[in-house]
A and B are shown apart, each in its own frame.
Chain A
Amino acid sequence: MSSTVKTRTDPASSGERRGGRRQKGIKGNALWFWVFVGPFVIGLLVFSYLPIIWSLVLSFFEAYNTATPSKFVGLQNYVDMLTDQNFLSSLGTFTIFAVFIVPLTFVLSLALALLVNQVKIARAFFRSVFFLPTACSYVVASLIWKLSIFNGVRFGLANTILGWFGIDNIAWLSTVSPPWYWLPLVTVRLWLQLGFYMILFIAGLQRISPTLYEAAYVDGAKPGWQVFRYITLPQLRATSVAVLILNLIAAYQAFDEFYNLIGNVNYARPPLVYLYGISLGSIQDLGHGSAGALILAVIIMLVTLLQSRIFGFGKAGD
């Protein structure tokens, strides 16, 4: 009995017991953490990090039709890739694509976010409508663009509309002069990704304190451009930088729409399509392919760091 009383009244003892329980709880949590996260960590190691390391090894070897290094060539694969006109031209294709897609996605997704955020009724409905294409596969969307909207014959949607105005059929995906293929390439990606970036901007807009707007109005700012220019846009700085960085990385990784809309052609071949053709396509040159992939990875990292530096991403106060 007395021990029971002691237990109830002895804070040190009580604290020790609670502390012990907490320690046990932490151990339990750690165990559960690894039970749930462990398989994914193992997956990440096996399916991501190990291939990257293997790719690094292969990049110093000759490896035709085999994933096993056969002959050490030092940096020759890197030299070959950096002097390969096709690889350099694929970086040029990426640049053109990025010049189109990054600003367009930024402006249009911000515009959509501003519009949807201002809607008073059925806001969730409009958010869903614009976000829904994000769930669509790039391959499926590309096939719809290729077969239904931008095919080059008279019953393609785009050509049907042109036909109403007496304009001849255009072979959208086959004409290089003028390069009409950019229109399907850019529009399909816009359709697929605008909703995602719109949601990011909406989240950013909802973080802006209404008191800032009230203060602006009190100070005489006019609703519309002035408020957008001096309040909304600066407050969206962190979101804007994130959108630009994500967009640029996504542009570097362009593959599905190019491959499915126009195939592996040299006039519009982004780096991933070129490297895919070398490594996994019929050529099966995994040495050069690995070197190219690592060069591309380094370029993406450098550009991302540079971009972060220029825009001051992650600065205190963001």
Chain B
Amino acid sequence: MPAHVPNAGWSRRDLLKRTGGLAALAALTAACGGNTGRPSSGGGGGSKPSLSQWYHQYGEAGTQQAAQKYAKAYTDANVTVQWTPGDYGTKLSSGLLSSKGPDVFESQLNIGMVKSNQVVALDDIIADVKDDFLPGDLATNTVDGKIYGIRMIIDPQVIYYRKSLLDKAGIKPPQTIDDLISAAKELTTNKVKGIFVGNDGGLALGSPALWAAGGDRLTKDHKPGFSGDGPVKMFGKLHELYASKSVLLGSPTDWTDPGAINQGLCAMQWIGMWAVPGMQKALGDDLGVIPFPALDASNKPAVYSGGWTQFVSAKSPNVDAAKKFVKWLWIDQAADQEDWSLSYGFHIPPRKSVAAKAAKLQSGVAADTVKLTQDYGHTDDPAWTPKMGTAFGDMLTNIIKKGADPAAEIANAEKTVNDELKRLFG
């Protein structure tokens, strides 16, 4: 190459070497990066902090756009919404291990998150409105007297049924577990199964069944609370229900989706109140609701008062900004909270003042569900960790699907739960 030509020192080979090296370096750098959901350059918002807010994928149409709308309306930070289809729990768990995770995220609290310093206490932002939250919703987010999350929605899980099918069979809404088993059998035909409680045969029923038999996952003084005659008998009844051949199994959609009852595959379905709009659209007024029935007259029925809670990651580089955003969205913006709870699926707004004004919860099956939740609702105990949950689920699988002896299975699960309690509480 002549000396007067620019880049005289670069041969074709040199050029290739240098660009090849740069490309390789760029590829490696890109591979080492990660999409945290935060704007890459601060979002062009000058000195405003950038926040990443993580959601799981809600089934109801319009929820993602609503979350983005709220984030956009916030002016004190650039908030980016990361919407996660599929296994949100695993993605969140991995995200919380590093500073590349979310600043603000929805989840359910367990004591492990507090002990490993994954979440920050939010007592300061909830202090003024604490009384406007239900005691159970505060308790489920409290560890050692500190509140770590702000409840976003309450999702009661109950049994919805087709009124017309029960009327046709001359059956009254079941009051006890034996009634439920009989009703499921009577409602089963060659086209329609009596009840759908999930393709796993009813693992979601485990805790409500336990409460409806007078037990609990953990006692107040942190001991296993699921042994004794009541739970043994109740878990045996869950197997009886499963073995009665009146339970729908292998549905294309699982219990969290109203597809099975909407398509006429079952007469009753265990599901959350979130699906009420979808069920009403398909079934009209042909919809009734019952809690999980009691073991017998000496026990109370139960409703699992589930839901989602907003947390601030302790690894966030902008903890204060994240707390300010959480307060703005989930404490100050009453209109957005009502919109989030009731414009897409149906959920109960956790703020009592917001729930009281929610017109969509004042009538019909939604109002009935709210009443049942007030009367029989149970929230999660934050001392109940995922490891305990796995042992409990394995116990239920063995009892329900394999017909194993409930007392022996309970003893096995208790061992794991005791080990975990010993690790956590000494």
Binary contact track A280-292/B, C-beta < 8 Å → 1, others 0: 1111110000000
| Any B CB within 8 A of the CB of A195 | no
| Any B CB within 8 A of the CB of A46 | yes
* Cross-interface CB contact of B249 among A152, A154, A177, A277, cutoff 8 Å: A152
Q: Which residues of A contact B25 (CB under 8 A)?
A: 39
| Any A CB within 8 A of the CB of B387 | yes
Rounded to whole angstroms, the CA-CA distance of A173 and B249 in the bound complex is: 8
Binary contact track A44-58/B, C-beta < 8 Å → 1, others 0: 001100000000000
Please give 10 more A-B residue pairs, beta carbons under 8 A apart, in addition to A152-B249, A156-B250, A171-B249.
A28-B13, A35-B20, A35-B24, A46-B32, A65-B113, A174-B201, A174-B250, A263-B200, A281-B386, A282-B386
Q: Which residues of A contact B252 (CB under 8 A)?
A: 147, 151, 153
Nearest CB of A to B76, in Å: 30
* Cross-interface CB contact of A64 among B96, B116, B390, cutoff 8 Å: B116
Q: Is the CB of B250 within 8 A of A173?
A: yes
Q: Which residues of B contact A38 (CB under 8 A)?
A: 24
List B residues at the A interface (Cβ < 8 Å): 13, 17, 20-21, 24-25, 27-28, 31-32, 89-90, 93-94, 96-98, 112-113, 115-116, 118, 191, 199-201, 248-252, 265, 385-387, 389-390, 394, 397-398, 401-402
Rounded to whole angstroms, the CA-CA distance of A175 and B199 in the bound complex is: 10
Interface of chain A residues 259 through 317 with chain B (CB within 8 A): 263, 265-267, 277, 280-285
* Cross-interface CB contact of A174 among B113, B116, B249, B265, cutoff 8 Å: B249
Q: Is the CB of B94 within 8 A of A280?
A: yes
Q: Which residues of A contact B97 (CB under 8 A)?
A: 65-67, 284
Q: Is the CB of A152 within 8 A of B394?
A: no
Q: Is the CB of B249 within 8 A of A175?
A: yes
Rounded to whole angstroms, the CA-CA distance of A277 and B17 in the bound complex is: 45
Rounded to whole angstroms, the CA-CA distance of A31 and B394 in the bound complex is: 56
Q: Is the CB of B27 within 8 A of A39?
A: yes
Q: Which residues of B contact A66 (CB under 8 A)?
A: 97, 116
| Any B CB within 8 A of the CB of A235 | no
| Any B CB within 8 A of the CB of A96 | no
* Cross-interface CB contact of A281 among B89, B112, B248, cutoff 8 Å: B89
Q: Which residues of B contact A31 (CB under 8 A)?
A: 17
Nearest CB of B to A81, in Å: 14
* Cross-interface CB contact of B397 among A47, A177, A265, cutoff 8 Å: A265
Rounded to whole angstroms, the CA-CA distance of A171 and B13 in the bound complex is: 64
The closest CB in chain A to the CB of B27 belongs to: A39
Q: Which residues of A contact B191 (CB under 8 A)?
A: 154
* Cross-interface CB contact of B401 among A154, A170, A176, A263, cutoff 8 Å: A176
Q: Is the CB of B28 within 8 A of A285?
A: no
| Any B CB within 8 A of the CB of A255 | no
List A residues at the B interface (Cβ < 8 Å): 28, 31, 35-36, 38-39, 42-43, 46-47, 64-67, 86, 147, 150-154, 156, 169-177, 263, 265-267, 277, 280-285
Nearest CB of B to A164, in Å: 15
Rounded to whole angstroms, the CA-CA distance of A38 and B21 in the bound complex is: 10
Rounded to whole angstroms, the CA-CA distance of A83 and B105 in the bound complex is: 36
The closest CB in chain A to the CB of B118 belongs to: A65
The closest CB in chain B to the CB of A63 belongs to: B116
Q: Is the CB of A43 within 8 A of B28?
A: yes
Rounded to whole angstroms, the CA-CA distance of A177 and B397 in the bound complex is: 13
Rounded to whole angstroms, the CA-CA distance of A265 and B249 in the bound complex is: 15
Rounded to whole angstroms, the CA-CA distance of A160 and B201 in the bound complex is: 22
Rounded to whole angstroms, the CA-CA distance of A170 and B32 in the bound complex is: 47
Q: Is the CB of A266 within 8 A of B113?
A: no
Q: Which residues of B contact A43 (CB under 8 A)?
A: 28, 31
18 chain-A/chain-B pairs, Cβ below 8 angstroms: A28-B13, A31-B17, A39-B24, A43-B31, A65-B97, A65-B112, A65-B115, A65-B116, A153-B265, A171-B199, A173-B250, A174-B200, A174-B249, A176-B401, A177-B401, A266-B398, A281-B386, A283-B390
The closest CB in chain B to the CB of A35 belongs to: B20
Known: A31-B17, A263-B200. A151 touches B401 (CB 8 A): no
Rounded to whole angstroms, the CA-CA distance of A178 and B397 in the bound complex is: 15
The closest CB in chain A to the CB of B394 belongs to: A266
Q: Is the CB of B28 within 8 A of A42?
A: yes
Which interface residue of B13, B250, B387 has the most chain A CB atoms within 10 A? B250
Q: Which residues of B contact A170 (CB under 8 A)?
A: 250
The closest CB in chain B to the CB of A65 belongs to: B116
Rounded to whole angstroms, the CA-CA distance of A86 and B397 in the bound complex is: 13
Which interface residue of A31, A156, A173, A265 has the most chain B CB atoms within 10 A? A265
Q: Is the CB of B401 within 8 A of A65?
A: no
Known: A35-B21, A66-B97. A176 touches B28 (CB 8 A): no
Q: Is the CB of A39 within 8 A of B249?
A: no
Rounded to whole angstroms, the CA-CA distance of A43 and B28 in the bound complex is: 7
Q: Is the CB of B90 within 8 A of A281?
A: yes
Nearest CB of B to A307, in Å: 32
Rounded to whole angstroms, the CA-CA distance of A276 and B66 in the bound complex is: 33
Q: Which residues of A contact B20 (CB under 8 A)?
A: 35-36
Q: Is the CB of B28 within 8 A of A284?
A: no
Rounded to whole angstroms, the CA-CA distance of A177 and B116 in the bound complex is: 42
Q: Is the CB of B21 within 8 A of A176?
A: no
Q: Which residues of B contact A175 (CB under 8 A)?
A: 249
Known: A172-B250, A282-B386. A265 touches B200 (CB 8 A): yes
Nearest CB of A to B162, in Å: 17
Nearest CB of A to B365, in Å: 25
Known: A42-B28, A43-B28, A151-B251. A283 touches B118 (CB 8 A): no
Rounded to whole angstroms, the CA-CA distance of A277 and B28 in the bound complex is: 30
Q: Is the CB of A267 within 8 A of B402?
A: yes
Q: Which residues of B contact A281 (CB under 8 A)?
A: 89-90, 93, 386
The list of the 3 closest CB pairs from A to B, nearest first, reads A152-B250, A171-B249, A65-B116
Q: Is the CB of A284 within 8 A of B386?
A: yes
Nearest CB of A to B266, in Å: 10
Nearest CB of A to B14, in Å: 11
Q: Which residues of A contact B89 (CB under 8 A)?
A: 281-282
Known: A38-B24, A174-B201, A282-B89. A64 touches B250 (CB 8 A): no
The closest CB in chain A to the CB of B263 belongs to: A153
Nearest CB of B to A286, in Å: 8
* Cross-interface CB contact of B93 among A169, A174, A280, cutoff 8 Å: A280
